[in-house]
């Protein structure tokens, strides 16, 4: 069962539910970090590509 499914099970204790919630928060934060890193890489690659293009057009 996935994490949200586990949270929806009504037989869980409050402590168990909080553990699942905390795990979900950690996973969400991890995903945000990965997305931020990917966005930064794309920005760097795009900037580098633009610079190469500008260098080639000014050399011509």
Mapped onto helix, strand or coil, the DSSP state of residue 60 is coil
Each residue's pLDDT tens digit, 4-49: 777 677 788 889 989 989 999 999 999 999 999 999 999 999 998 8
Domain encompassing residue 13:
3-59
**CB of 27 closer than 8 Å to CB of 3:** yes
> How far, in Å, CA of 1 to CA of 3, rounded?
7
Q: Predicted confidence band at 60 (pLDDT cuts at 50, 70, 90)?
A: low
Count of structural domains, the chain: 1
**CB of 7 closer than 8 Å to CB of 24:** yes
């Amino acid at each position: 069962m996935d994490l949200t499914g586990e949270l929806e099970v009504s037989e869980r204790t409050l402590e168990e539910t909080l553990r699942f919630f905390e795990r979900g928060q950690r996973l969400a934060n991890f995903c945000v970090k990965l997305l931020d890193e990917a966005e930064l890489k794309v920005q760097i690659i795009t900037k580098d590509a633009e610079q190469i293009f500008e260098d080639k057009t000014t050399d011509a």
